[in-house]
Amino acid sequence: MSQKRQLLIDTALELFYNNGINSIGINEVLTTSGVAKRTLYSHFKSKDELVMAALQQRHDRFSRWLEAKLSAASSDREVIGCLFGALRSWFGNNEPELGNFRGCFFINTSAEFSDLDSEVAQFCRHHKLEVRRIIAGHLHSDDPLLLDTLCLLKEGAIVTAHLTGSGEAVAARCMEILTQRP
Amino acid sequence: MSQKRQLLIDTALELFYNNGINSIGINEVLTTSGVAKRTLYSHFKSKDELVMAALQQRHDRFSRWLEAKLSAASSDREVIGCLFGALRSWFGNNEPELGNFRGCFFINTSAEFSDLDSEVAQFCRHHKLEVRRIIAGHLHSDDPLLLDTLCLLKEGAIVTAHLTGSGEAVAARCMEILTQRP
DNA sequence: TTTCGGGTAGACCAACCTGTCTACTTTTGG
DNA sequence: CCAAAAGTAGACAGGTTGGTCTACCCGAAA
């Protein structure tokens, strides 16, 4: 069905991710995509609905990407290697399907929407839970402490990579930290 | 000198931290503080300048707070305890001087300002470096891997606490992770 | 007493925001 | 082949933004 709808979502996601949702107006999405305003509002009844569609799109894409990256791992040690190897590659802008690295879209979006009960904030929580579930699904032991460690270090790495810019060193450091454990 | 200036900074910081900088207009700062617009623009030549003053204020307050929390520690193990104990207390809204917990002001602000060269983004980087320096100053061994571990887990904890809401459990988990190492 | 810095209230400006609307054109399926 | 669906351009409405400006007030120091 409608390819314009998909074009709008793709354009919105890229602009939102690169500039923040509040910094991007509807008109910028329209001029960038070359779609008419009327068309946008025939597919989405408000900007919020477009935002939700962009979040969903990012979530799907990121989940598929992560799942593929972890699928090769056949031991916990390999899961660690795959996970932080993938992150390092992302931080270094070598994962075209995820776009130019600018932190985690869901962390960034949460920072912009203060109302914790809003649909947007709820979806961000949902995303993080799903990512955790994906990682858990690839670990052999179901040591909850290991899972928490991976998730916490992953979040720390993403934020630090975004803020400092030295993302690849950060990801490598995470692997050092984790391989130094029993 | 001028107490109005300080009142403006305090009001702006609270509003910015609780709602995000782009969501708060100058007029909201004015009505909340009860100060006239003319007065604001006699102290700050633009909103950006007010934003910078708010960032500086937050940085000073947070640094002093952290320094005080870590000053009691006399061993690396105690530094870990003090650090994540302080974070747990912050996450649980038991640190009035830091206000109601809503993540890290600098991480949130970085998410809103995409230009990495902007004064705002530079200050956020500076803040994180300073915090790292404070932690390093209280560690006895100068094991860089330990320092990195603490900083990464700290960022992960802040982000996760903000996104999921279960902050105190997260901080406790970090301590478990760290005490389980040699 | 006069002068002046710091303050107030609020009208005003240009730019931008989301969202609606009219009027017209293109695409596509039965 | 023609009707319905999907698209276009862009004016418009009503509100908000950051920022400027005029006109006035007050208290303290020279």
Q: Which residues in chain B (16-75) have CB-CB distances under 8 A to chain A? A: 18-20, 22-23
Q: Which residues of chain B lie closer than 8 angstroms to A180, CB-CB?
A: 145
Residues of B in contact with A110 (CB under 8 A): 103, 162-163
Nearest by Cα to A108 from A60, A161, A153, A166 = A161
Contact B171, A171 (CB under 8 A): no
Burial per residue of B22-58, b for 16 or more beta-carbon CB atoms within 10 angstroms, e otherwise: eebeeeebbeebebeeebbeebbeebeebbebbbebb
Query: Average per-residue pLDDT in chain A?
Result: 96
Residue B105 has pLDDT above 60, yes or no: yes
For range B75-101, the mean pLDDT: 97
CA distance A174 to chain B (A): 8
Q: What is the pLDDT of residues B133-156, one digit of tens each?
A: 999 999 999 999 999 999 999 999
pLDDT in tens, B2-52: 789 999 999 999 999 999 999 999 999 999 999 999 999 999 999 999 999
User: Residues A66-103: pLDDT tens digits?
Assistant: 999 999 999 999 999 999 999 999 999 999 999 999 99
What band does B180 get if pLDDT is binned at 50, 70 and 90?
confident
**Proportion of chain A above pLDDT 70, given as a percent:** 98
In CATH, the number for domain A54-179 is 1.10.357.10
pLDDT value, residue A2 = 74
| DSSP codes of every residue in A44-101 | -SSHHHHHHHHHHHHHHHHHHHHHHHHTT--SHHHHHHHHHHHHHHHHTT--GGG-S-
Using a CB-CB cut-off of 8 Å, the residues of chain B touching A178 are none
How does the average pLDDT of chain B come out, rounded?
96
- Which residue of A lies nearest to B112 if distances are taken between CA atoms? A20
Structure tokens at B65: 């707070």
User: Is residue B1 scored above 70 in pLDDT?
Assistant: no
Q: Given the structure tokens 């904030």, which residue do they identify?
A: A121
Nucleic acid strand D within 7 Å of B181 CB: no
In this prediction, residues A131-156 reach a mean pLDDT of 97
> A7-56: per-residue pLDDT in tens?
999 999 999 999 999 999 999 999 999 999 999 999 999 999 999 999 99
- pLDDT score of A1 more than 70: no
In the structure encoding, which two tokens stand for residue B165, read together? 């809401």
Q: Is the CB of A27 under 7 A from strand C?
A: yes
Task: Let me know: does A152 contact B164? Beta carbons within 8 Å.
Answer: no
CATH number at B46-179: 1.10.357.10
- The H or E element that residue A148 is part of is helix A144-164
Cβ–Cβ under 8 Å, residues B40 and B47: no
- Cβ(A110)–Cβ(A28) below 8 Å: no
- Is pLDDT of B182 > 60? no
Report the alpha-carbon distance of residue A86 to residue A18 in Å, rounded: 20
User: Are A58 and A105 contacting, i.e. CB atoms less than 8 angstroms apart?
Assistant: yes
Pick from B133, B86, B131, B125: nearest CA to B109: B125
CA of B3 to C1' of C2 (A): 27
